[in-house]
Amino acid sequence: MAEAHCLIFPFPIQGHINPMLQFAKRLVHKGLRVTLILTRYLAKTSPFHSPTIAVETISNGLDDGEPHGFPVSSYLSLLKEHGMASLREALHRLIRCGRPATCIVYDPFITWVPELAGEYGIKTAAFFTQSCAVDYIYHRLYSGDLKIGEEEEKAIELPGLPPLLPADLPSFVTLPESYPSLRDMVTDQFKHIENVDWVFCNTLYELEKEVIDFMAEHAPVKAIGPTIPSMYLDRKLADDTDYGLSVFRPEARLCMDWLNRQEPGSVIYVSFGSLAKLSEAQTAELAHGLKRSKRPFLWVVRAAEQGKLPEGFAAEEVPGLVISWCPQLDVLAHDAVACFVTHCGWNSTLEALCLGVPMVGMPQWTDQTTNSKFVADVWGTGVRAVGDGGIVGRESIEKCIREVMEGEKGEEIRKNVSKWKELAVAAVSEGGSSDRNIDDFVSTLRRLAVAAV
């Protein structure tokens, strides 16, 4: 019997690799043959080993190193020039080995995949790693239907979404000149989208029902998340305890030993992900806000950012631990953790929802402002810290931490996160909304593989 073969092609940064790799594991669990496509540089510096997922490597023109600060537009051009040629070679090699690709699930940042797949008659699925709401906003921006006028405080009304103030929209919408190349990248995701066979979104239907229903009227949108390791959700995938490919090296033993010494429900966990950069002034306000809370805290400050900490802060008598990186899922799952101060990147937001941890949102840029709006005002799973002149002050940070950890509001937030945690588990469990969508995808690929014989 012919075997369906799915290629998974993530954009080569940590926040985009993780969800697509977890989706690949789900497909393997459903019985599909899966091959992960990585750049040669990434495969060399962050090796991925799996007994069930094969790896093919392609070139991005920077096989010996990826210079820090390399312009996004230049990188995308190199990835297209070298990646298209080397992926074509990989497709030929798979055909010769008797393992032709049935479908390519690709990150829409890599806009040229549908064009290449079409040459080989291969089906395509666009996999969006951000929320469905954010994807919809970017699509409206791409199509020219969303423009911010002079009335900056007027709410924006979009079908399927709550009223959004400009401050709730992604920064690329409200500040179009701030990062023009990145703005082009998020809008260009929709090039060729009308030619793809599936549109997958890393979310659960119940979380974004209204916007998914609206988008589904115009495109084959399906929720297939949340894509986090099975141990933290339905526990159906054996040994799926972490993502399996990390660009960063966590200080796991140090932070877990420290957490084990803390009281249950006492710790503030603070992390702004792999890309966000706080200013020195904001770092100082956050440090003082944490001290004012008088609670133990675990603060992830990447090595390159630790010079922004207030002088002597790490050596002071503070009830906390500053580390360069940590195993975030293990931290969020620990019973000592009561609150997550976060930039509200989508992966971090989903992880907190799945593990039932209340959030204090301190969004920095891109989709984080929109995610924090939903966290605070739609899902009721946290609060959003508001700044003055772009800086969130220590008093506001302290107030927000106390709000989610104490009193009636804190209790209500904890009830809400428990509800969403249960719904997330149900979505990926057998017969759940995301599980059914994945089953439909797998069944279709199997039929296609048989028909191709």
What one-letter code names the amino acid at 289? G
Q: Which residues of the chain have pLDDT under 50?
A: 150-151
In three-state secondary structure terms, 437 is: helix
- How buried is residue 433: exposed, middle or buried, by Cβ count under 10 Å (0-12/13-18/19+)? buried
User: What pLDDT does 242 receive?
Assistant: 93
The domain limits of the chain are 5-236+429-451, 252-424
d(CA 212, CA 203): 10
The token duo for 5 is 């073969």
d(CA 190, CA 142): 7
In three-state secondary structure terms, 83 is: helix
Is the fold of 5-236+429-451 the same as that of 252-424?
Answer: yes
Sign of CA dihedral 177, 183, 185, 188: negative
- The answer to whether residue 192 is catalytic is no
The answer to whether domain 252-424 has CATH 3.40.50.1950 is no
User: What pLDDT does 148 receive?
Assistant: 67
User: What pLDDT does 316 receive?
Assistant: 67
Residue with tokens 């440090």: 287
User: What pLDDT does 39 receive?
Assistant: 95
pLDDT tens digits, one per residue of 394-412: 999 999 999 999 999 999 9
The token duo for 441 is 């995808």
Query: Who's near 450: CB < 8 A, 6+ residues apart?
Result: 1, 2
d(CA 196, CA 125): 6
d(CA 219, CA 221): 6
Architecture of the domain defined by 5-236+429-451: 3-Layer(aba) Sandwich (3.40)
d(CA 183, CA 76): 13
In three-state secondary structure terms, 308 is: helix
Q: Where in 62-108 does DSSP place strands (E)? A: 103-106
- The answer to whether residue 107 is catalytic is yes
Residue in 107, 330, 367, 435 annotated catalytic = 107
Query: Who's near 380: CB < 8 A, 6+ residues apart?
Result: 412, 413, 416
User: What pLDDT does 152 receive?
Assistant: 59
d(CA 404, CA 177): 35
User: What pLDDT does 150 receive?
Assistant: 45
Give, rounded to a whole angstrom, the gap between the first and last alpha carbons of the chain.
9
d(CA 399, CA 421): 25
Q: DSSP characters for 223-284? A: E----S-GGGTT--STT--S-S--SS---HHHHHHHHHTSPTT-EEEEE-TTT----HHHHH
d(CA 316, CA 241): 35
Q: Are strands 267-271 and 337-342 parallel, antiparallel or unpaired?
A: parallel
